[in-house]
Each structure stands twice: as structure tokens, then as C-alpha cells.
Amino acid sequence: MRKILFLLPLLLACNINVAGPTIDNTNTNTNNASNDSHDTTFAPSNPSAPTTGPTGEQETVLPLPSNAQAVATSVVNRDAVAKSCQDVYGEAAWQFMDTVVGALRKTDARWGYLIKPNTGQVSRDVIAYRATNDNIGAWGVDIIIDQCGHPSFGWGVIGFDPTAQWTGTRF
């Protein structure tokens, strides 16, 4: 204790300036994953107006079920969401989408997968609710945000598209 008290006046008299290191934060986006292009091809319309079915008849568009988001949220598994990029994890990456669609189909068989119009492939992050009497005309709901970057669960209602194709299975 005496040594510290003895050195204290010397330290005060020296006028010592201490400078910390300079911090330079640079953030470079290295995300080069291909974008799931549902957001550029999905053409939402006004679902309150009747739509014309494939045979020319007028159809009333069903609204999204009010409990759907709660059902989807109840089955969220963060590990499955984190591994939902098919480019990295292959077939195993579908686990999250399949779980959510399966849970929703238990409450309403109109839930399924959105078929992307530009490729005919099942969307990797958007589910569909068949809102008409056939497999054309569906609501799109984006359930995986930043799928091949830092994926997380979301419930982004894209809207109703009278030309969107729906399928109950992805096989």
C-alpha cells in the first residue's frame, strides 16, 4: 500500500496521456446467394373483388385464416430455420417449410407450397394458401427472411395473386 501511495505523486506530476487504439469498423456484404425471386414475379391483386377462374366463372377469394400466423409461430424451430438454405443444406433444408406447412394443413387443407411462375419450381421460402376452387389463385406468405444469409422466421403476407399456382406437396 505504501508503494502505491509513494508512486501516486510521481504519476500525477508526469502528465501522462494514454491513447487507445483507433477502431475502424468496415462492413463488407459478402452475401452472394441467389435471390428467391418470388418477390419479383408475384403479382398481388385486390382479393376483395371476385376473380375470374380458369373456365371464366367468377370466384370469391377466401381470406387468409385468422389463426394461421399463430399456428406457424407455434412450430418454429430456430435450428431448422437457421439451416433452411437449400443451396447449403440440400434436402434437409426443407424441414422448416415442411413442418410449417404440415401444421397449417392440420387446420386447413388449403395450405401448401407456392409454385414460382418463372421456373415452375416450389418456392424455397414462400408458402401458399389456395383461396379459390382450383389450384390457381393463392395467397403468398413469406415465412423465411434472408433465407441463405441470416435466416429467421417471419410472416410476410405478400398478397393474393389470381394467377399464382399452389400445390399441396412439393414432390
pLDDT of residue 124: 94
Higher pLDDT, 118 or 30: 118
DSSP category for residue 92? G
Q: What are phi and psi of 142, to 5 degrees?
A: -80, 115
**pLDDT digit string, tens, across residues 60-84:** 889 999 999 999 999 999 999 999 9
Higher pLDDT, 4 or 43: 43
**Residue 32 in this model has a pLDDT that exceeds 80:** no
Kindly write down the DSSP assignment for every residue of 39-86, as one continuous string. Answer: HHH---B-TTS-EE-TTS-EEPPPPPPTTHHHHHHHT--HHHHHT--H
pLDDT of residue 52: 63
pLDDT of residue 5: 47
- Cα dihedral 131/133/134/139 (nearest 10): 0
- Residue 160's SS3 state is strand
Which residue from 166, 41, 171 is spatially nearest to 104, judged by alpha carbons? 166
Domain ranges of the chain: 36-167
pLDDT of residue 105: 97
Q: What's the whole-number average pLDDT of the chain? A: 80
